[in-house]
A and B are shown apart, each in its own frame.
Chain A
Amino acid sequence: MDRYRFEMDRLEPRQEKLDELYDMIEGGTEVKQAKWIGRKAAALILAAAVLTITAAAAAMPAVWEAMTKQLGAFAPYAQTIRGAVCRDQGIKVQVLSALADDLEARFYISVQDVEQDRLNEYLTLMGKIENGRTKAAEPGGSSMGLSLFSLRNGSFDLISYDPETKTALFSTNIDYWEEGVPTPDAHLSLTGMSTYQAKINNETNIGTISGEVLESLPMGEENQTILSPSDIINLGYTDDILPSEKVVLAPELNPQPIEGTEDMWISSMGLASDGCFHIRLGFADGISILDEEGDSWFLCTLLPFEIGDTLGKAYRETLVPGGVDILFPLIQADDLETIQDCTARFYGRYTRPGTIIEGSWNIDFQMEYYSSLVLDWTGELAGRRVDQVTLSPLSVTMSSNDTGAFCRSTLYAVKRDGTTVEAEPDTGSYDNIGGIDPIWKTFNTWKFAEPVDLEEVVSLSLMGETIPVS
């Protein structure tokens, strides 16, 4: 991100504005103060009608099954997207379904090779999905040639691959959060897809690490260091933390698999003769963590993050024959207690034998979403002031001055028959708008474990207190 620093360094406020500030400080020119007021209460929004998945993808039963399995109890509330399909390079791309309220939209997309057999379970997509606008933006997106949408996501998660129909199923989502709202129009654009570039984001428990010093090999010319502690931006470490003895672990000393992949595995792990903790990974044939330009996008972190912040984020990656050796210079014999049974996360991109398909797949489509009901109720709840509560079949949001308890508390929707539906806390934000004397402006969200029929909900329950709904 040096480029970001470089670009930002070039940004300067205008001198006249700085002069105004100096004048203001000196009590000279009176500067017109901007007006800062709270948000107006949102208008009451009607709940959308229930949507139903139909058999639109009957030709791809395995894909449909994977999607409905992933949707779980929410499948009946998802919407079939009709006619959102295009074809290029012998690849058919189709937006199958969406499940959305005004907090989040999740989309399901199928990618099918209708001419050859070029896809597999390592398929990745390049492109983005766009929808929504920020609440501050002009409705309708009168952005004069710029994108109509304010929100987008370029990350697509592969859910399944069906070799019989040569079809992959992906999901992606857009978060509207507090500041955005969904729009009826949406756009998917893909510029390429690849089975050559794979992604990994896998976690493995590393188990018990003994204090035994394992067989180590001196680093030679073939051992190219591709990442040093000083390359990991803003950790603040220099390469001086590296041990003076330059070694890597010998291969296959205590191999164990990495859950969810056969492309790489832990080949050796433990203390090397340099006194530091190493993880040596082995790679299957054809696997490389270097891309065409020789760059690496492969990272490792030891979890939980408490370890990651102090010890497990500083490391050196060194290429070894058939793998990579990861040295953690800050984890030495005395620190082994800290990392017993911790989790190693390997994440990033790598390449594997495969193909790259470039093309242009663009789909405009319409989507519906469940508009949240803004509850009439505001008031005190568990000693907090609650300014707004919204309720959709999928989620609950709350604006308040909570100082931290809401984000750890399960919320319940109480139905007419007395049964409840749990909603676990999801992402939220706590803004201190008071400076030294904290005044909290808090936005919390909860996601229901199963969809709720708003007609059936009589109240919400949080921290033992009740919010009336009807």
Chain B
Amino acid sequence: MQEPWNDPGALVKQYAPAVYRLAYARTGSRADAEDVMQETFLRLIKFRPSFDSEEHAKAWLLRVASNCANDLFRLPWRRREEPLDENLSAPERPEEGSVTQAVLSLPARYRIPIHLYYYEGYSVAEIARILGRSEGTVKSRLFRARDLLRNQLREEEDGGQIQV
């Protein structure tokens, strides 16, 4: 019997939302996040990697999603897909003053480490493995991102504790 972490259908059910949220944290666009989600699972089917565990499968999916999300910004036709009307983009934008908005305002390279750390609960070492970067790079990005977030949330919040 196939383990659930090697069953693509089970992985879609289990991790499609996680892939989607990671992509959204990077792109800030629901449509782009769905594209990234689709591409990630296409690659799963194409490469059919053999996973040792559920965690291994999840880490692979998030790594591929991260790469796909980054690649998305290099597509030459992307600029033509930018919304021309502010109203069209409104439903995609996070709530004014939300933490998500603050995360999305970070420089792009900080968003995925922050998302993996605070939302997915990965350690620095795990994030480094997922993203294929050194632990030092991840640490410095988290440190810098937290500083930026603190400043921003501090500026935008009128009270209430947000521990970052």
Task: Give A contacts to B, CB under 8 Å.
Answer: 1, 3-5, 7-8, 11-14, 17-18, 20-22, 24-26, 31, 33-40, 126-127, 134-138, 142-146, 151-155, 175, 177, 179-180, 191, 231, 233-234, 236, 293, 295, 297, 305, 309, 349, 404, 407, 427-433, 435-436, 438, 440-441
A-facing mask of B133-164, CB < 8 A → 1, else 0?
Answer: 11111011000000110111011000111111
Q: Quote the shortest CB–CB distance from A20 to chain B (angstroms).
A: 7
The count of chain B contact residues (Cβ–Cβ below 8 Å) is: 82
CA distance A104 to B132 in the complex (A): 24
CA distance A305 to B82 in the complex (A): 41
- Chain B residues with CB below 8 A from A137, complex form: 79, 82
Q: A5-B118, A12-B17 are in contact. Are A26 and B98 (CB under 8 A)?
A: no
A427: contacting residue among B68, B94, B140, CB under 8 A? B140
Most central of A1, A5, A404, A432 by chain B CB within 10 Å = A1
Whether B137 lies near A429 (C-beta < 8 A) is: yes
5 closest Cβ contacts across the A-B interface? A432-B132, A4-B99, A144-B86, A1-B118, A154-B151
- Chain B residues with CB below 8 A from A144, complex form: 83-86
Whether A429 lies near B133 (C-beta < 8 A) is: yes
CA distance A21 to B122 in the complex (A): 26
Whether B125 lies near A309 (C-beta < 8 A) is: yes
Whether B73 lies near A136 (C-beta < 8 A) is: yes
- Chain B residues with CB below 8 A from A39, complex form: 74
- Chain B residues with CB below 8 A from A349, complex form: 150, 154
Q: Does B21 contact A (CB under 8 A)?
A: yes
CA distance A135 to B71 in the complex (A): 12
Q: A1-B118, A7-B100, A438-B132 are in contact. Are A35 and B86 (CB under 8 A)?
A: no
Whether A24 lies near B79 (C-beta < 8 A) is: no
Whether B132 lies near A431 (C-beta < 8 A) is: yes
B148: contacting residue among A18, A37, A154, CB under 8 A? A154
Q: Does B38 contact A (CB under 8 A)?
A: yes
Whether B163 lies near A13 (C-beta < 8 A) is: no
Taking A1-B99, A24-B45 as known contacts, 8 extra A-B pairs with beta carbons closer than 8 A to each other, sorted by chain A number, are A3-B162, A13-B33, A14-B34, A18-B16, A152-B105, A154-B152, A180-B108, A431-B132
Whether A433 lies near B9 (C-beta < 8 A) is: no
Whether A154 lies near B67 (C-beta < 8 A) is: no
A21: contacting residue among B41, B74, B108, CB under 8 A? B41
List 18 A–B pairs whose Cβ atoms lie within 8 Å, in order of A's numbering: A3-B162, A4-B99, A8-B24, A11-B24, A14-B34, A17-B38, A24-B41, A25-B8, A25-B41, A35-B75, A135-B73, A233-B164, A293-B161, A305-B136, A349-B154, A429-B137, A432-B63, A432-B132
Q: A309-B124, A429-B137 are in contact. Are A13 and B37 (CB under 8 A)?
A: yes
Q: A154-B148, A293-B161, A440-B132 are in contact. Are A177 and B42 (CB under 8 A)?
A: no
Whether A155 lies near B159 (C-beta < 8 A) is: no
Interface SS majority for chain A? loop
Whether B42 lies near A1 (C-beta < 8 A) is: no
Q: What total count of A-B pairs have CB within 8 Å?
A: 190
- Chain B residues with CB below 8 A from A1, complex form: 99, 118-119, 162-164
B109: contacting residue among A5, A34, A177, A231, CB under 8 A? A177
Q: A152-B105, A293-B159 are in contact. Are A25 and B9 (CB under 8 A)?
A: yes
B98: contacting residue among A7, A36, A295, A440, CB under 8 A? A7
Q: Quote the shortest CB–CB distance from A465 to chain B (angstroms).
A: 23
- A407: nearest chain-B partner, CB-CB: B134
Whether A233 lies near B20 (C-beta < 8 A) is: no
- Chain B residues with CB below 8 A from A35, complex form: 75
Whether B12 lies near A138 (C-beta < 8 A) is: no
Whether A25 lies near B24 (C-beta < 8 A) is: no
- A306: nearest chain-B partner, CB-CB: B135
A431: contacting residue among B84, B131, B159, CB under 8 A? B131
Whether A25 lies near B64 (C-beta < 8 A) is: no
CA distance A14 to B105 in the complex (A): 24
- B99: nearest chain-A partner, CB-CB: A4
- Chain B residues with CB below 8 A from A153, complex form: 148
CA distance A415 to B20 in the complex (A): 49
Q: Quote the shortest CB–CB distance from A186 to chain B (angstroms).
A: 16
- Chain A residues with CB below 8 A from B83, complex form: 144
- Chain A residues with CB below 8 A from B133, complex form: 429-430
- Chain A residues with CB below 8 A from B155, complex form: 126-127, 154, 191
A233: contacting residue among B21, B30, B82, B118, CB under 8 A? B118
Interface positions of B from 88 to 128, Cβ below 8 Å from A:
94-95, 98-100, 103, 105, 107-109, 115, 117-119, 121-125
- Chain B residues with CB below 8 A from A297, complex form: 150, 154
Whether A138 lies near B79 (C-beta < 8 A) is: yes
- B139: nearest chain-A partner, CB-CB: A305
- Chain A residues with CB below 8 A from B125, complex form: 309
- Chain B residues with CB below 8 A from A309, complex form: 123-125
CA distance A26 to B8 in the complex (A): 9
Whether B85 lies near A22 (C-beta < 8 A) is: no
- Chain A residues with CB below 8 A from B117, complex form: 234
CA distance A11 to B94 in the complex (A): 10
CA distance A432 to B49 in the complex (A): 15
- Chain A residues with CB below 8 A from B159, complex form: 293
Whether B21 lies near A8 (C-beta < 8 A) is: yes
Q: Quote the shortest CB–CB distance from B86 to chain A (angstroms).
A: 4
- Chain A residues with CB below 8 A from B105, complex form: 152
- A139: nearest chain-B partner, CB-CB: B79
Whether A33 lies near B39 (C-beta < 8 A) is: yes
B39: contacting residue among A25, A34, A175, CB under 8 A? A34
Whether B147 lies near A21 (C-beta < 8 A) is: no
- Chain A residues with CB below 8 A from B34, complex form: 13-14, 17
Whether B99 lies near A3 (C-beta < 8 A) is: yes
